[in-house]
């Protein structure tokens, strides 16, 4: 069956009751299997900023849907790999251009289903487009080497070969950017893909699929199966035809997937949790440091694995920094992401909202001081959570050690640089870490000794250029293959050495 996965209507205002059923076509995501849009939508996604508004509907995939998608991908893979890399790249570039043309519509859908602000959503759509175009351009880049041989009349070359069929599991917090930055290097390398998008954000992944299809991607090369992780994700991980899987999500789920894939020696890439720390030293400008921390902690509603969630300050700057950070937190006003006045959108789900509430409430019950914020709910039921600044916590408090994934930051005092560096490294996670200082010597030392995959000096921990490697250490990553940039190609390919005699 072929049908249109996304249609537009002149009005996407509040849709409830029977109207929610009759208006679903405007908001429907479907499976994409072998070029066909399939599946009866049975799961409703409501707008976290407007609890009565339907944001999307999607089908619940089965193991049978996964099997069909993998079968299609397996059949399509040899032909896709045989297509010259510049031709594969041209399709990715065309898809990126289509995302830019459709940016306004996609961004509004993203806001409604995920909750972030429209400016953040537009930036994310552009990021997805840029990622597709970046990897598309690599279709013209060399992927091997010519090496000298110790044998006479012999040439040695190296080649990179695609793995085959790739499984992708992506999260809700960057629902089009992360699918794009996993899909693009997989496809340009000659692999085919089966992706399970996050259940909370099915429309964003559907927009990506539509752009790829409309750009001319052959049927079966990119397949989408919506549904629950314990059904769709598990079936993907256990299928022996999946040569590699790239996952972004919680540490517990990621480590479970790693066990499944390692058992059959399939390649696995994990990007998991973070508890990212920033060290603020006495020589830093307190206002600038507060702006850096606030951007990392409260931007994107704190719902980023790279968000700042713990800050260590030395005694001399502590009073001025806390005053400045409290003022910055107050400037992150919450509201509907489609309202241009809102600086921070809604929390993605009631479950996440309650997790944020519990983190702040229990910290206060344990004796923490809440300098800004509240853990009360909005009377309307909208999932708006104000920026929270906690202080006066012990180093081992749960708010300091456990990932919250919301706009909550804990500020603790340390005696000096060495104590601060030790505190930064005293974590099970190691994704990003930052320092605010005017000392080049200390910034350089921090970059060398901080135990994190990405180091930021006088910059927010959140955010990364698309052309640089991204990944962490400890429980934040498998610490084997990096995402983004040319380094991303390593995960999706295997190396071959070729001797040629004359």
| 3 in a structural domain | no
End-to-end CA, the chain: 54
Q: Return the pLDDT at 107.
A: 97
Q: Determine the Cα–Cα distance for residues 277 and 274; give it in Å rounded to an integer.
A: 9
Q: Return the pLDDT at 263.
A: 95
Q: Return the pLDDT at 358.
A: 97
Residue 3, token pair as written in the block:
């049908």
Same domain, 37 and 156: yes
Same domain, 254 and 292: no
The total number of structural domains that make up the chain: 2
Q: Tell me if 60 sits within 8 A of 226, measured CB to CB.
A: yes
Q: How far is CA 338 from CA 113, 277, 302, 416, in A?
A: 12, 31, 18, 43
Same domain, 302 and 445: yes
Same domain, 296 and 156: no
Q: Return the pLDDT at 26.
A: 59
Same domain, 240 and 389: no
Residue 408: beta bridge partners? Answer: 388
Burial of residue 230 (CB within 10 Å: 0-12, 13-18, 19+) is exposed
Q: Return the pLDDT at 10.
A: 31
Q: Return the pLDDT at 265.
A: 94
| 150 in a structural domain | yes
Same domain, 249 and 108: yes
Same domain, 60 and 195: yes
Same domain, 379 and 493: no
| 75 in a structural domain | yes
Same domain, 485 and 423: no
| 441 in a structural domain | yes
State the DSSP string of 191-226.
-EEEEE--TT-HHHHHHHHHHHHHTTPPTTSEEE--
| 281 in a structural domain | yes
Structural domain of 376: 276-466
Element holding 236 (H helix, E strand): helix 234-238
Q: What is the crossing angle of helices 202-214 and 177-188, to 10°?
A: 40
| 112 in a structural domain | yes
Same domain, 210 and 290: no
Q: Which of 23, 217, 293, 305 is catalytic?
A: 305
Starting at the edge strand found earlier in the chain, the sheet holding 146-147 runs 146-147, 154-162, 493-501
The 10s digit of each residue's pLDDT in 191-233 is 999 999 999 999 999 999 999 999 999 999 999 999 999 999 9
Q: Return the pLDDT at 19.
A: 38
- Residue 436 known to be catalytic: no
Same domain, 25 and 102: yes
Q: What CATH number is attached to the domain comprising 287?
A: 3.40.309.10
| 490 in a structural domain | yes
Average pLDDT value for the chain: 94
Same domain, 153 and 243: yes
Q: Determine the Cα–Cα distance for residues 425 and 414; give it in Å rounded to an integer.
A: 13
Positions of the chain with pLDDT lower than 70, given as ranges: 1-26
The 10s digit of each residue's pLDDT in 11-50 is 343 333 333 334 456 589 999 999 999 999 999 999 999 9
Q: What CATH number is attached to the domain comprising 153?
A: 3.40.605.10
| 292 in a structural domain | yes
């Amino acid at each position: 069956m072929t049908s249109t996965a996304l249609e537009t209507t002149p009005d996407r205002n509040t849709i409830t009751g029977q109207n929610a059923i009759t208006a679903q076509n405007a908001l429907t995501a479907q499976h994409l299997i072998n070029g066909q849009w399939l599946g009866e939508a049975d799961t409703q996604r409501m707008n976290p900023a407007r609890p009565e508004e339907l944001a999307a509907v999607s089908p619940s995939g089965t193991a049978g849907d996964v099997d069909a998608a993998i079968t299609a991908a397996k059949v399509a893979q040899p032909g896709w790999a045989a297509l010259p890399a510049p031709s594969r790249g041209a399709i990715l570039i065309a898809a990126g251009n289509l995302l830019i043309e459709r940016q306004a519509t996609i961004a509004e859908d993203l806001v409604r289903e995920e909750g972030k602000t429209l400016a953040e959503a537009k930036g994310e759509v552009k990021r997805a487009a840029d990622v597709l175009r970046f990897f598309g351009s690599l279709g013209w880049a060399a992927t091997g080497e010519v090496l000298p041989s110790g044998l006479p009349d012999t040439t040695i070359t190296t080649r990179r070969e695609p793995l085959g069929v790739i499984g992708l599991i992506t999260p809700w917090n960057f629902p089009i950017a992360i699918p794009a930055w996993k899909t693009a290097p997989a496809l340009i390398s000659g692999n085919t893909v089966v992706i399970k998008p996050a259940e909370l954000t099915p429309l964003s992944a559907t927009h990506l699929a539509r752009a790829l299809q409309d750009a001319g991607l052959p049927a079966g090369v990119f397949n989408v199966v919506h549904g629950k992780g314990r059904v769709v994700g598990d079936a993907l991980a256990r299928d022996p035809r999946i040569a590699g899987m790239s996952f972004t999500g919680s540490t517990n789920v990621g480590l479970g997937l790693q066990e499944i894939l390692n058992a059959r020696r399939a390649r696995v890439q994990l990007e998991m949790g973070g508890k990212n720390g920033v060290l603020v030293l006495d020589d830093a400008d307190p206002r600038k440091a507060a702006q850096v921390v606030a951007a990392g902690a409260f931007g994107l509603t704190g719902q980023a694995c790279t968000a700042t969630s713990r800050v260590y300050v030395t005694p001399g700057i502590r009073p001025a920094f806390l005053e400045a950070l409290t003022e910055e937190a107050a400037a992150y006003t919450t509201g509907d992401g489609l309202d241009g006045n809102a600086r921070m959108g809604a929390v993605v789900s009631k479950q996440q909202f309650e997790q944020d509430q519990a983190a702040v409430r229990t910290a206060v019950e344990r004796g923490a001081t809440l300098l800004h914020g509240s853990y009360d709910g909005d009377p309307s039921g909208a999932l708006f959570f104000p920026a929270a600044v906690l202080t006066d916590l012990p180093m081992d408090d749960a708010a300091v050690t456990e990932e919250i994934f919301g706009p909550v930051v804990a500020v603790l005092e340390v005696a000096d640089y060495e104590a601060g560096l030790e505190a930064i490294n005293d974590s099970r996670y190691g994704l990003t870490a930052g320092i605010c200082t005017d000392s080049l010597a200390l910034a350089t030392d921090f970059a060398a000794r901080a135990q994190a995959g990405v180091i930021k000096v006088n910059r927010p921990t959140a955010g990364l250029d698309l052309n640089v490697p991204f990944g962490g250490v400890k429980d934040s990553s498998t610490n084997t293959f990096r995402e983004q940039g040319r380094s991303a190609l390593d995960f999706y390919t295997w190396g071959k050495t070729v001797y040629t005699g004359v």
